[in-house]
Amino acid sequence: MSLPKFEYIKAQTIGEAAALAAETGDKGMVMAGGTDIIPLLKDRVKLPGYIIDLKGVPGLRQLEYTEESGLKVGALTTLREIETSAVVKSKLPAVAAAAHYVASTQVRCRGTMVGNICNASPSADTACILLVMNAAVQTAQAGGAGRVIPLSGFFKGVKQTTLEPGELVTEINIPALKSGEGSAYFKFAVRKAMDLAIIGAAVWVKMDGGRIADCRIAVGGANTTPFRAAAAEKQLIGREYGESLLAEAAATASKECRAISDVRASAEYRVDMVRVFTKRAFKEALGNLKA
Amino acid sequence: MKRVIRFNLNGEDIEAYAPENMTILDFLRKEMHLTGTKRGCEEGECGACTIMLDGKPIAACLMLAVEADGHSVVTIEGIMRGGRLHPVQQEFIDKWALQCGFCTPGMILSAIALLEHNPQPSEYEIRDAIAGNLCRCTGYAKIVEAIASAAEVLRKGA
């Protein structure tokens, strides 16, 4: 498969990249790892006149953790760097696990977490865990100061985000887990590698003894965007944890989803798997509570 | 449009013209005549085109040739040591870890990338490292054995 014609521009600053993206509009595509973009070009799904490569921009490769501000993941930080980072594995194990679920080692050595969410696939493996962790993205804008967009306001539809033309994500900020909090992500797919999720479920929970002080549940791969199962969360918050309560809430989560049918699974099957994997993710999160 | 790219290819610094819209896979095969890197699915699914970029395994079909500028690339043609096969290559032969051989260059580069940072991998870690390399002949058992055995050879300082 050949690539269509385009002009390759290696931006040197984030300002230059944003200005080029604004100027070229629909004709420009911003590239970090390229693992999503190159197949789109080969398949002629996208025919941009310009590829704006970010890899020449300094300062976008950060992977920094502090207890106060959590984890900062730069636009060029690869999924492989995240999944193999000792600090991410110990402080935010579910984030490392979600990064590891993406594709294969070869893809993760190039692909980035920022690219994974900007591509906005309904089944993006890192989207659910970022949603339940209340992550936010920092953007840069051509001729503007940039914005902070919470993940809950980032996904608009299949392959659509709320980024404006000429707006780029420079980093993702993921809050740290505090004492009594835990999180988990489970992906359900036929193969362990190189497969898209039939569904994925992520949970963040804050326990106060045996009581669920707070929780967030996100489901991916079912609807057109990853979504929060708000009614299920509401059922759980403030209650004493128990198997039957969790079973009820998981059933609610599956009622909340508007699943699609496709080659990977029927809508009915997805809905039922949301119930199963919400439960599993919740139990895993409970087993991972920070001391 | 073509651009000048300078990078290290199998230990040698090279300078070449590369079209902007050419993958590093096609550049290696068509311009450098290094056909050991196989062209399989061309969308990053099969691993037949695995090469090492700065020591990390990547899918050559998902990278532009112009992106190699300033980096170091190793292909299956660049892993022999002093005229002898790399221990991973030798173990693939000794353990019968290939049949048609199409996936083999990619498998071997994935294995070398693993063993360079993890000299004593578990079976799970080996399987995880080659999860992005599809083989339609052997069923993987022999491949996993060959990699485990190569790890042992390398640890003994072959």
Instruction: Provide the residue ranges of all domains of chain A, joining segments of one domain with +.
Output: 7-53, 63-174, 181-286
- Name the A residues in 68-97 with CB < 8 Å from any B CB: 80
Both tokens of residue A146? 């940039």
Q: How many CA atoms lie within 13 A of A208 on its CB side?
A: 10
CATH T-level fold of A63-174:
3.30.465
Query: Contacts of residue B133 in chain A, CB cutoff 8 Å?
Result: 104
Q: How far apart are CA A74 and CA A65, in angstroms?
A: 12
Rg from Cα positions in chain B: 15
pLDDT tens, N- to C-terminus, chain A (291 residues) = 899 999 999 999 999 999 999 999 999 999 999 999 999 999 999 999 999 999 999 999 999 999 999 999 999 999 999 999 999 999 999 999 999 999 999 999 999 999 999 999 998 999 999 999 999 999 999 988 899 999 999 999 999 999 999 999 999 999 999 999 999 999 988 887 778 888 899 999 999 999 999 999 999 988 889 999 999 999 999 999 999 999 999 999 999 999 888 888 999 999 999 999 999 999 999 999 999
B50 at interface of A, judged by CB pairs closer than 8 A: yes
Q: Tell me what ipTM this predicted complex has.
A: 0.96
Is B71 within 8 Å of A130 (Cβ atoms)?
Answer: no
All structural domains of chain B with their residue ranges: 2-77, 87-155
Closest-CA residue to B147 (of B102, B118, B111):
B111
Superfamily holding B2-77: Beta-grasp domain (3.10.20.30)
Q: How far apart are CA B112 and CA A262, in angstroms?
A: 38
CATH class of the domain whose range is A7-53: alpha beta
Query: Contacts of residue B61 in chain A, CB cutoff 8 Å?
Result: 38
Determine whether domain A181-286 maps to CATH 3.30.390.50.
yes
Closest CA of chain B from A42, distance in Å: 8
Closest CA of chain B from A53, distance in Å: 9
User: Are B58 and A1 inside 8 Å of each other by CB?
Assistant: no
Q: How far apart are CA A9 and CA A110, in angstroms?
A: 18
CA-CA-CA-CA torsion sign (A219, A224, A227, A230): negative
CATH of B87-155, one of 3.40.50.10540, 3.40.1670.10, 1.10.150.120, 3.10.20.30: 1.10.150.120
Q: How many CA atoms lie within 13 A of A167 on its CB side?
A: 16
- Residue A64: enclosing H or E segment and its boundaries? strand A63-66
Closest CA of chain A from B147, distance in Å: 16
Is B75 within 8 Å of B8 (Cβ atoms)?
Answer: no
Both tokens of residue A252? 């609610």
- Name the A residues in 27-66 with CB < 8 Å from any B CB: 34-35, 38-39, 42, 51, 53, 55
